[in-house]
Structure 1
């Protein structure tokens, strides 16, 4: 963290600008952090992520949260209260509240640790109990804020996370387009 050019990044991969256009939210991928850059003076602060050298996983507030190569970020379009993040090597889609204490939760992805690494996989369904991803790299909100589209790179698919309309209900994950193995641009399968 620091002022403008004194701050250091390690492999920033994606940026989302807040609704009030005062901050850029940055996936500082190789530092395993989500950072905020003031668009007025360049001041950089860490919103979330422990910065563990090898990456980590934890749903927690601010610096206690763990990421592993976050690579995509998208601002919730209706309220601007949070961003979603493609937490690539944790095989999950995460939610980060922009107001302190910067709570981080898992929105989708039920990967389990096997031999010290989160397992890649493919499964649609309940977002946190069943859905599996393989190296998700990019996320984009639908204009109405009801769905998040995910570039599920390792599964060669575009996936859709449908957010719940009732508090306490789970989000659901479905496949929108694509199927393994990698294709050459021909007709896709959904």
Structure 2
């Protein structure tokens, strides 16, 4: 079970990945077993207007999106959204959005840090590997994700490929990998075997991949 709360009073269910928001004030956690995305406060925050203003203390854990113990696939706001075993997470440099590898749904979802709106940006839901635009593309299970400084998303999946999602137009294309194997080469002539994580360099010209 997952429980929101302060410090040790909170509980998680198989947390899979974490990302610090660019301003350093919050930690975003994908709670894979709970099927939710959580927030952990790293700096005391004062929120709300006027007399309704309140202080959120360091260590407070809240649910950003999804319903604990209720896997599914639904875009929506906050607790109305549904995820299925969310795994990887990475936050945009604009400090406004985080991108989630919704592993059980074979999709990439974006969560707004301001209004908790969840939107599907890519993935058809099919356990395949196919390039295309937005929800016409397919990934299979995405295990690792990273947002580049300029906004594109790099991801790795069980289909042994490194993919890029262009958030400006939704296009998804393969930059490296094809069939399963181990081979250094250029682009799709290279081969991976179940890559797990990806990290994009600050200049967005290079990505480091852990190849399981």
Name the TM-score class by shorter chain.
0.7 to 0.9
Equivalent positions of 1:71-110 (< 5 A) are 71-77=87-93, 79-100=94-115, 102-110=116-124
Equivalents in 2 of 1:39, 1:185: separation in Å?
42
Aligned residue number for residue 151 of structure 1: 156
> Does structure 2 conserve the Cα–Cα contact (< 8 Å) formed by 1:25 and 1:35?
yes
Cα-to-partner distance string for 1:143-178 (whole Å, 9 max, x where unaligned)? 211x100111x21101000121xxxxx410000111
Task: Choose the corresponding residue for 2:138, options 128, 132, 140.
Answer: 132
1:51 Cα offset (Å): 1.9
> Does structure 1 conserve the Cα–Cα contact (< 8 Å) formed by 2:22 and 2:92?
no
Any runs of at least 4 consecutive aligned residues in structure 1 with deviations exceeding 4 A, and if so which? none
Structure 1 unaligned segments of length 5 or more: list them. 112-118, 165-169
TM-score (norm. length: structure 2)? 0.77
Cα-to-partner distance string for 1:39-65 (whole Å, 9 max, x where unaligned)? 142110000011235x21100100110
1:123 aligns with 2:127: no
Task: Choose the corresponding residue for 2:29, options 16, 22, 26.
Answer: 26
Secondary structure in 1 aligned to 2:33? Answer: helix
Structure 2 unaligned segments of length 5 or more: list them. 44-57, 189-212
1:43 aligns with 2:50: no
Cα-to-partner distance string for 1:103-126 (whole Å, 9 max, x where unaligned)? 000010012xxxxxxx30111011
Equivalents in 1 of 2:121, 2:178: separation in Å?
23
TM-score (norm. length: structure 1)? 0.86
Equivalents in 2 of 1:95, 1:160: separation in Å?
15
Secondary structure in 2 aligned to 1:30? Answer: coil
Equivalents in 2 of 1:63, 1:85: separation in Å?
16
Equivalents in 1 of 2:106, 2:92: separation in Å?
20
Instruction: Tell which structure's C-alpha radius of gyration is larger.
Output: 2
Equivalents in 2 of 1:12, 1:185: separation in Å?
32
Equivalents in 1 of 2:146, 2:40: separation in Å?
20
1:183 aligns with 2:181: yes
Equivalents in 2 of 1:142, 1:38: separation in Å?
24
Equivalents in 1 of 2:183, 2:85: separation in Å?
28
